[in-house]
Amino acid sequence: DIQMTQSPSSLSASVGDRVTITCRASQDISNYLAWFQQKAGKAPKSLIYAASNLQSGVPSKFRGSGSGTDFTLTISSLQPEDFATYYCQQYNGYPPTFGQGTKVEI
Amino acid sequence: EVQLVESGGGLVQPGGSLRLSCAASAFTFSSYWMYWVRQAPGKGLVWVSRINSDGSETRYADSVKGRFTISRDNAKNTLYLQMNSLRAEDTAVYYCARGGAYSNSPWDYWGQGTLVTVSS
């Protein structure tokens, strides 16, 4: 299985900050990388697919980049509604696998 | 608006069975691969099973192989997960998610989840 490793596991930030989360795959996944946001007690929400493409309706303050094995999610100007847990996922290899999550806290 | 609505969760004793359903609406259900993902309390997301658009191909995580069965009824726009021989470690919120036209298409929509608790 392809292992997905996110860092950090958690971070503290303030409203207005810019934060960056990294995700590393254990082997080359090209750009078959997605990012999901999950708020406490809620279902995951798709933010980005193909490493850098925003899902419909997702604000441009979310930016994804990378290819191969190293990827990043950058959130600019953090707002209260952005405090959540973020997961990366590779969907090229079988089985699809998720990172362990990064909790963004105030 | 695309909607996925899970149902069928609940409390079940070890060794018991449950069938989860995921009702889809506002899209051509029969054109999409579908997935089940679970999340144990306080833990991360784990893929459980997938099924292709016409139901002819299914795959399972090793942890549920031989105990869980994924299926779909395209006429009823509904995805299912039959769970047998349940164990305490199967306790989780179960989500259905929509893929795309291919096995390596990105996922976009998720249901709200249904909680399965396996306990005596």
Summarize pLDDT for B24-67 with one digit per residue, the tens. Answer: 999 999 999 999 999 999 999 999 999 999 999 999 999 999 99
Q: Which whole number is the average pLDDT over A74-95?
A: 94
What pLDDT, in 10s, does the model give residues A28-57? 999 999 999 999 999 999 999 999 999 999
**Percent of chain A clearing pLDDT 90 (strictly above):** 96
- Kindly list the distances between the CA atom of residue A7 and the CA atoms of A20, B35, B36, in Å, as whole numbers in the listed order: 9, 26, 26
Q: Which whole number is the average pLDDT over A12-36?
A: 97
Alpha carbons B86 and B113: distance in angstroms, whole number: 18
What pLDDT, in 10s, does the model give residues B13-26? 999 999 999 999 99
Residue A83 CA to its chain's centroid (Å)? 13
Q: Above 90 in pLDDT, residue A94?
A: no
Q: What is the pLDDT of residue A93?
A: 83
For A80, phi and psi rounded to 5 degrees? -55, -35
Task: Spell out which residues of chain A touch residue B50, defining contact as CB-CB under 8 Å.
Answer: 96
**SS3 track for B37-106:** EEECCCCCCEEEEEECCCCCCEEECCCCCCCEEEEEECCCCEEEEEECCCCHHHCEEEEEEECCCCCCCC
Question: Binning pLDDT at 50, 70 and 90, where does residue A106 land?
Answer: confident
Task: Give the closest of A43, A92, A99 to B110, CB-based.
Answer: A43
- Please name the residue that has the structure tokens 């995700």: A23
Task: Spell out which residues of chain A touch residue B106, defining contact as CB-CB under 8 Å.
Answer: 32, 34, 46, 49-50, 91
Indicate the burial class of B23 (C-beta count within 10 angstroms; 0-12, 13-18, 19 or more). Answer: middle
**Which residues are CB-contacts of A45 (< 8 A; sequence separation ≥ 6)?**
A36, A37, A38, B110
**Percent of chain B clearing pLDDT 70 (strictly above):** 100
Average pLDDT, chain A: 96
CB contact under 8 A, B107 and A46: yes
What pLDDT, in 10s, does the model give residues B63-106? 999 999 999 999 999 999 999 999 999 999 999 999 998 889 99
The verdict on B104 touching A (C-beta cutoff 8 Å) is yes
